[in-house]
């Protein structure tokens, strides 16, 4: 029977970018459907998930001659996604220059896409999980005066807030208290708490579950199985979960009652998504909070210079101050001290020393007293490269402009960019010489060397010192990191070697010495943010030492220490580190940035092109910028387009990469220009002159230049 469609609905769906389909497609529906309704619709030969979108945002058009297809079904068991969620997705798509449907669908749990309505209905009928205790097992502690002052200001003011608190100053306790107050104020209220790394979610979850009970809390991150993610997502969407803990992806969770967003370690680059829509979850959190009437709290001991600048207090010359409110918690809980910083001038040390004598002596002493040490090196593997002493051969990756890293444990050479792995050759592949040597060092080698150097060192119980390593290689298996961290917490490890993975967030109780053995590389990187990053990393790493004031007092020994082995002991980064003086460091960096016209005093975007050859990649970018000038696109007058350049690692997996930097003093002008440029880039992609182009992409507010 033929029935005329009663309604036309606009549906956001994930159309492949080459399909030429606009953001929204029109479908026929037997009756009107409210925006936000989840539907299944035919698309090509397939049936896909879509979200009914607000008609006034429609930009898609029916391809000529096509008839309107009817929607296939409605996911009736799931309430429509609300207007604030749709506005967030719409904003993110516009701001980060992606298709609306792509962002909308990527924000939904994968199983929602894959399950048919029958399966989903069954899933929804399933009773809620066997729930444990009633929560509130862990009574709220009495806040310190600094914590109380922060709490009171957050309660009284609108924000957004930058909670600038030393490592161990009790920021998490402030989050807990603010969440408590938000939830108490309104039975439908929800809170979102984000951390930069999946690794940090279990300990946070534990703290929140102890305070609020297991039903109230769900997690959302990519380390979960798809059924778990669906379950958490539905709990947040329906309001049964009051608190969502998660990584950057959680910023897109459907949270109809959202009243508070916490972004912990807000400076962490992991908040920036590095593929698809390259969004900053921190920046979206600010936007979302304002739109949805939720308070936003950014916490860090070393805020990003963007947030620091945005939270500058008013002064005589700058009576407005920044848009955010800065709250300060300088003291450690329980009158604990921040580590004393010891710099070892490597110019005065024997060449090629990895562990200098004074550092080794300090570690030995700590171990003999039963204390723990942490040794940081931001490079995994045994050595970054192998070379032949006879002919100069190096273990270059055949597919990338990078070395293959030597991993001794399994005797492989591995490319950390494309994953290409081979067995370590016995002889030089070029000249046959057996004299193959490693150059430089990674965490595996540190672990091995320490084991040798400390082999005679005994703990107070007479047992030999135990060394453990935590990095991406030792934690590949599910649950491995938790197990390893538990060993550290249980005191089964005396010296922990690792990458930045161990520097972040963990509340270690018995670490009293932290050492950065080779931090200098980051001082001379071409990335203008590298000093900021290094400072944050070292402050955070140092923050793992001496966290338990009671333990420190009971040990009665030396104060906790942060050791830095460097050829540049006078460098501003280490000077500021020594004084724990983030404000001075930030002031100096901001002055440089202002002078040079760099973020946060300017706004940037990158356009990247990947192609078979570097020439094609650069030619595409050159042509696109020439077209922008010819057409005198809106905003162009306020935007500087720099010439295309190869990326630092120019070739990865046999693809050549080039990028072009765009800069503007006006965010609005840059946005206007990018929006107008988007169709030009699309058109250039189809031009036969650019055959060999693999893809192009735009990165707004890029973090790595
Ligand atoms: P941060 O997040 O700032 O590094 P945490 O919130 O993890 O610091 O707090 C450091 C330690 O101090 C934790 O073990 C925490 O339980 C404890 N702590 C925090 N606030 C208080 C308080 N008001 N009284 C007693 N202990 C506290
Ligand atoms: Zn050779
Ligand atoms: Zn490679």
Rounded Cα distance between 406 and 425, Å, is: 11
pLDDT in tens, 169-184: 999 999 999 999 999 9
- Contact of 250 with 217, CB cutoff 8 Å: no
Distance CA 541, CA 536 (A): 8
Q: Is the CB of 167 under 6 A from ligand 1?
A: yes
* Confidence grade of residue 23 (pLDDT, cut at 50, 70, 90): confident
Angle at 252 between CA 250 and CA 254, to 5 degrees: 100
Ligand closest to CA 425 = 2
Using a 6 Å cutoff on CB, does residue 141 contact ligand 1?
yes
What pLDDT does residue 22 have? 63
Using a 10 angstrom Cβ sphere, with 0-12 exposed, 13-18 middle and 19 or more buried, the burial of residue 65 is: exposed
Name 438's bridge partners.
Answer: 386
CA–CA gap between residue 428 and residue 437 (Å, rounded):
10
Q: 32, 62 in Cβ contact below 8 A?
A: no
Please determine, for residue 133, whether its predicted confidence score (pLDDT) is greater than 50: no
Residue in the block written with tokens 């469609």: 5
Binding-site residues for Zn(2+) sit at 388, 391, 397, 400, 415, 418, 428, 431
Question: Is the pLDDT confidence value at 18 over 90?
Answer: no
Neighbour count for residue 530 (Cβ, 10 Å): 16
Residue 60 is predicted with a pLDDT of: 45
* Candidate of 141, 151, 167, 173 to mutate for ligand 1, largest count of ligand atoms within 8 Å of Cβ: 173
Ligand with minimal distance to 431 CA: 2
Of the candidates 360, 367, 339, the residue with the CA atom closest to the CA atom of residue 562? 339
The whole-angstrom separation of Cα 464 and Cα 466 is: 6
Q: According to the model, what pLDDT value does residue 21 have? A: 55
Left if phi > 0, otherwise alpha if psi is -120 to 50, otherwise beta: which for 526? alpha
Asked if residue 93 has pLDDT above 90, the reply is yes
Query: Given pLDDT bands bounded at 50, 70 and 90, which one contains residue 127?
Result: low
Position 186 scores a pLDDT of 93
pLDDT the model gives residue 450: 96
What is the end-to-end Cα distance of the chain in Å, rounded? 60
pLDDT at 124 over 80: no
Beta bridge partners of 414: 405, 421
User: What 3-state DSSP class applies to 41?
Assistant: strand
Q: Give the tens place of pLDDT for each residue, 558-574.
A: 899 999 999 999 999 99
| Measured distance CA(208)–CA(177) in Å, rounded | 10
What mean pLDDT comes out for the span 111-124?
79
Domains identified in the chain and CATH numbers: 7-125 (3.40.1440.60), 145-333 (3.40.50.300), 336-380+442-595 (3.40.50.300), 383-440 (no CATH), 603-700 (3.30.70.100)
Residue 559 burial class via C-beta count within 10 angstroms: exposed 0-12, middle 13-18, buried 19 and up: middle
- Contact of 36 with 81, CB cutoff 8 Å: yes
State the SS3 of 298-349: EEECCCCHHHHHHCCCCCCCCCCCCCCEEEEECCCHHHCCCCEEEEEEHHHC
Give the per-residue pLDDT at 334: 83
Q: How far is the CA of 499 from the centre of ligand 3 (A)?
A: 21
Q: Please write the tens of the pLDDT for every residue from 615-637.
A: 999 999 999 999 999 999 999 99
Mean pLDDT score, 432-441: 94
Which residues are paired to 261 by β-bridges?
192, 296
Task: Give SS3 for 190.
Answer: strand
- Give the mean model confidence (pLDDT) for residues 494-522: 92
Provide the pLDDT for residue 126.
Answer: 63
218-241 tens-digit pLDDT? 999 988 999 999 999 999 999 999
- CA of 385 relative to ligand 1 center, distance in Å: 42
The C-alpha atoms of residue 232 and residue 240 are separated, in whole angstroms, by: 10
Atom of ligand 1 nearest to the CA of 264: 2
DSSP characters for 555-609?
Answer: H-SSPPEEEEEES-TTSHHHHHHHTT-HHHHHHHHHHHHHHHT-TTSSEEEEEEE
B/e letters for 570-607, b = 16+ CB within 10 Å, e = fewer, are ebbbbbbbeebebeebbebbbeebeeeebbbebbbbbb
Q: Which residue has the tokens 């039903």?
A: 215
Is residue 512 scored above 80 in pLDDT? yes
Residue 290 phi/psi, 5° resolution? -65, -45
Alpha carbon 175 to its chain's center: 20
% of the chain exceeding 70 in pLDDT: 94
- Pick from 120-134, 480-494, 516-530: least confident: 120-134
Binding site residue list: 388, 391, 397, 400, 415, 418, 428, 431
- In this prediction, residue 66 has a pLDDT band, given cuts at 50, 70 and 90, of low
Q: Edge-to-edge strand order for the sheet containing 467-470?
A: 340-345, 561-566, 511-516, 372-376, 495-498, 467-470
The most confident of the ranges 17-26, 62-71, 138-147 is 138-147
298-313 pLDDT, tens digit per residue, is: 999 999 999 999 999 9
Kindly report the pTM of this predicted structure. 0.93
Q: Is the CB of 138 under 6 A from ligand 1?
A: no
Return the pLDDT at 129. 46
H or E segment to which residue 26 belongs? strand 24-29
Distance CA 125, CA 147 (A): 43
pLDDT at 1 over 90: no
Confidence of residue 685 (pLDDT cuts 50, 70, 90): confident
| pLDDT at 314 exceeding the cut of 50 | yes
Secondary structure E strands in 384-486: 385-388, 405-407, 412-414, 421-423, 436-439, 467-470
- pLDDT > 90 in the chain, percent: 79
Q: Is 331 in the pocket of ligand 1 (CB under 6 A)?
A: no
CA of 434 to the centre of ligand 3 (A): 24
At 90 the three-state DSSP class reads: helix
Minimum CA distance residue for ligand 1 atom 18? 170
Looking at the CA of residue 143, tell me the nearest atom of ligand 1. 23
Residue 145 — pLDDT band, cuts 50, 70, 90?
A: very high
The model's confidence at residue 67, banded by pLDDT at 50, 70 and 90, is low
Ligand 1 atom closest to 329 (CA): 3
pLDDT at 700 over 60: yes
Q: Are 623 and 690 in contact (CB under 8 A)?
A: yes
Q: What is the mean pLDDT of residues 668-676?
A: 97
Range of lowest pLDDT (9-13, 14-18, 199-203, 554-558):
14-18
Whole-number average pLDDT of the chain: 91
Once rounded to an integer, what is the mean pLDDT over residues 260-286? 96
Q: Which ligand is nearest to the CA of 167?
A: 1
Using one digit for the tens of pLDDT, what is the confidence trace for 325-380? 999 999 999 878 899 999 999 999 998 788 999 999 999 999 999 999 999 999 99
50 burial (CB, 10 Å; 0-12 / 13-18 / 19+) is buried
Ligand nearest the Cα of residue 437 is 2
Separation in Å, CA 9 to CA 43, 71, 271, 379: 15, 9, 34, 52
13-22, 65-74, 84-93, range with the lowest pLDDT: 13-22
Position 132 scores a pLDDT of 40
Q: Which of 317-321, 388-392, 639-643, 667-671 has the lowest mean pLDDT?
A: 317-321
CA–CA distance, 435 with 655 (Å, rounded to integer): 32
- The mean pLDDT value for 419-439 works out to 95
Q: Residue 542: CB within 6 Å of ligand 1?
A: no
Residue 528: partners with Cβ closer than 8 Å, 6 or more residues away: 593, 596, 598, 705
Give the pair of three-digit tokens for residue 503: 């520097």
Which residue matches tokens 């540190």? 446
Q: Residue 661 CB: number of other CB atoms within 10 A? A: 16
Q: Could you tell me if 702 and 604 are in contact, meaning their C-beta atoms sit under 8 angstroms apart? A: yes
Q: Is the pLDDT of residue 522 over 90?
A: no
Distance CA 371, CA 369 (A): 6
Decide if 26 contacts 60 (C-beta within 8 A): yes
Confidence of residue 257 (pLDDT cuts 50, 70, 90): very high
Which element (helix H / strand E) includes 694? strand 693-700
Over residues 636-653, the pLDDT tens digits come to: 999 999 999 999 999 999
């Amino acid at each position: 029977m033929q029935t005329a469609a009663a309604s036309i609905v606009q549906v956001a769906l994930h159309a492949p970018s080459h399909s030429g389909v606009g953001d929204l497609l029109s479908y026929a529906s037997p009756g009107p459907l409210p925006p936000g309704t989840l539907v299944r619709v035919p698309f090509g030969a397939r049936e896909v998930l879509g979200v009914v979108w607000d008609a006034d945002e429609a930009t898609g058009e029916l391809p000529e001659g096509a008839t309107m297809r009817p929607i296939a079904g409605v996911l009736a068991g799931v309430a429509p996604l609300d207007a604030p969620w749709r506005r967030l997705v719409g904003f993110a798509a516009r701001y980060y220059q992606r298709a609306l449907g792509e962002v909308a669908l990527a924000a939904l749990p994968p199983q929602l896409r894959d399950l048919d309505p029958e399966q989903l209905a069954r899933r929804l009928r399933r009773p809620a999980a066997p729930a444990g205790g009633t929560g509130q097992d862990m009574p709220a502690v009495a806040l310190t005066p600094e914590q109380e002052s922060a709490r009171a200001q957050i309660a009284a003011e609108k924000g957004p807030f930058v909670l600038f608190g030393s490592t161990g100053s009790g920021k998490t306790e402030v989050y807990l208290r603010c969440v408590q107050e938000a939830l108490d104020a309104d039975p439908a209220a929800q809170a979102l708490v984000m951390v930069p790394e999946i690794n940090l979610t279990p300990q946070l979850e534990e703290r929140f579950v102890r305070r609020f009970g297991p039903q109230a809390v769900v997690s959302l991150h990519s380390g979960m199985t798809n059924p778990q993610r669906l379950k958490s997502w539905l709990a947040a969407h329906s309001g049964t979960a009051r608190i969502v803990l998660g990584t950057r992806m959680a910023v897109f969770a459907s949270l109809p009652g959202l009243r508070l967003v916490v972004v912990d370690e807000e400076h962490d680059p992991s908040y920036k998504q590095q593929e698809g829509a390259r969004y900053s979850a921190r920046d979206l959190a600010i936007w979302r909070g304002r739109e949805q009437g939720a308070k936003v709290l950014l916490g860090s001991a070393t805020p990003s210079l963007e947030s620091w600048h945005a939270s500058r207090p008013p002064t005589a010359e700058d009576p407005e101050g920044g848009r955010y409110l800065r709250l300060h918690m300088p003291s450690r809980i329980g009158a604990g001290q921040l580590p004393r910083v010891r710099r070892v001038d490597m110019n005065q040390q024997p060449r090629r020393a990895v562990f200098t004598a004074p550092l080794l002596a300090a570690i030995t002493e700590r171990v003999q007293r039963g204390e723990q040490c942490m040794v940081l090196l931001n490079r995994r593997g045994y050595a970054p490269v192998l070379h032949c002493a006879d002919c100069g051969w190096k273990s270059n990756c055949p597919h990338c402009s990078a070395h293959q890293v030597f991993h001794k444990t399994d005797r492989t050479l591995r490319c950390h960019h494309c994953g290409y792995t081979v067995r370590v050759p016995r002889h030089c592949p070029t000249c046959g010489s057996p004299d193959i040597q490693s150059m430089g060092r990674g965490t595996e080698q540190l672990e091995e060397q320490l084991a040798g150097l400390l082999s005679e060192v005994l703990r107070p119980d007479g047992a030999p010192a135990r060394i453990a390593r935590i990095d991406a290689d030792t934690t590949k298996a599910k649950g491995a990191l938790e197990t390893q961290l538990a060993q550290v917490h249980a005191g089964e490890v005396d010296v922990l070697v690792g990458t930045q993975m161990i520097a972040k967030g963990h509340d270690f109780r018995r670490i009293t010495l932290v050492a950065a053995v080779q931090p200098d590389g980051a001082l001379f990187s071409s990335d203008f943010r590298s000093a900021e990053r290094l400072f944050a990393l070292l402050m955070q790493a140092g923050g793992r030492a001496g966290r338990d004031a009671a333990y420190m007092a009971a040990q009665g020994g030396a104060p906790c220490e942060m050791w830095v082995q460097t050829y540049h002991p006078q460098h501003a980064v280490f000077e500021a580190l020594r004084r724990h003086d983030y404000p001075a460091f930030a002031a100096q960096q901001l002055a440089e940035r202002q002078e040079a016209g760099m973020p946060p005093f300017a706004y940037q975007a990158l356009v990247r092109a990947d192609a078979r050859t570097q020439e094609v990649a650069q030619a595409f970018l050159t042509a696109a910028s020439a077209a922008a000038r010819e057409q005198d696109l809106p905003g162009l007058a306020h935007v500087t387009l720099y010439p295309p350049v190869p990326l630092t690692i120019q070739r990865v997996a046999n693809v050549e990469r080039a990028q072009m930097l765009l800069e503007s003093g006006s965010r609005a002008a840059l946005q206007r220009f990018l929006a107008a440029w988007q169709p030009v880039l699309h058109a250039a992609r189809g031009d036969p002159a650019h055959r060999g182009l693999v893809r192009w992409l735009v990165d707004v507010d890029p973090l790595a230049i």
